[in-house]
Every structure is written in C-alpha cells, then in structure tokens.
C-alpha cells in the first residue's frame, strides 16, 4: 500500500474490466505506481460530478481499493459519496470510459459523470 493511504470499512468495488484498464494505462505510461483517482466535486448537471485522473501518489486522507493488482484511490470526502459504488470500464462503439455505478445517487445525468444524492 502506498504511503499515506489507508483501507476503509467502506466499500468501493473495482470490476475486472476497470482493473485491466488501469493495468493497461500503467503499462502505456511506463509507471507501475499509477492508480485511478476518483474525486467527487460539486457541480455538473445534477449537483455533483466524478473526476477521473491517474495518480502515482496518495495523501494522508486517501483510501485505497485494490483489485487484481490495480488500485483505485479516493479522498475521505469523496468516499462518503462513493461508499457502495462499483467502478467499471466500458469499451463501447465510439467510446471508452470509466463509469461509476452509484446506488446512493437519487438521479444522474445522461453524461454519466454527474449525479445527485
């Protein structure tokens, strides 16, 4: 586990597809430390939105979720919105993207990155 990160009783599920894509991105970037960082920010069509980034470092308030050797990291505030969510990677005709299935969301936008609770 990278320095500064902790495990949590809260759950964030990472699918096989998401883990494989993170591994592929690490390989493409030539950096085995890369993790998928998910942050929840205010804004978007429905009130909150997901931000996806690649990050090689963790902070003192970060939580790490591992699956098949790939890591997803999020901060303490974002984890409150992500508890019970599933992170997946979709590769559809004309689009490839990470997606969060959030059972806590009361509504979401067609863009797939915006939601409300």
Interval 18-59: pLDDT, tens = 999 999 999 999 999 999 999 998 875 657 888 999 999 999
For the chain, give the longest Cα–Cα distance. 39
Is residue 62 in a domain?
A: yes
Angle formed at CA 39 by CA 76 and CA 94, multiple of 5 degrees:
150
Residue 46's pLDDT is 58
Is residue 60 in a domain?
A: yes
What distance in Å separates the CA atoms of residue 93 and residue 37, rounded to the nearest whole number?
A: 25
Q: How far is CA 34 from CA 41, 49, 80, 107, 114, in A?
A: 21, 22, 23, 31, 25
Is residue 86 in a domain?
A: yes
Q: Is the pLDDT of residue 90 over 80?
A: yes
87: CATH: 2.60.300.12
Quickly count: other Cβ atoms within 10 Å of residue 107's Cβ.
Answer: 11
Is residue 113 in a domain?
A: no
Q: What is the pTM of this model?
A: 0.81
Our count of domains for the chain comes to 1
């Amino acid at each position: 586990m990278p320095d500064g990160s902790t495990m949590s009783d809260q759950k964030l599920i990472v699918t096989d597809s998401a883990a494989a894509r993170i591994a592929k991105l690490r390989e493409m970037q030539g950096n085995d430390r890369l993790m998928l960082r998910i942050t929840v920010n205010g804004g978007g069509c429905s009130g909150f939105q997901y931000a996806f980034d690649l990050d090689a470092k963790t902070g003192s308030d970060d939580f790490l979720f591992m699956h098949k050797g790939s890591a997803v990291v999020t901060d303490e505030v974002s984890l409150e919105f992500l508890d019970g969510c599933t992170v997946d990677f979709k590769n559809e005709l004309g689009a490839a993207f990470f997606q969060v299935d959030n059972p806590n969301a009361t509504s979401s936008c067609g863009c797939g990155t915006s939601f409300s609770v």
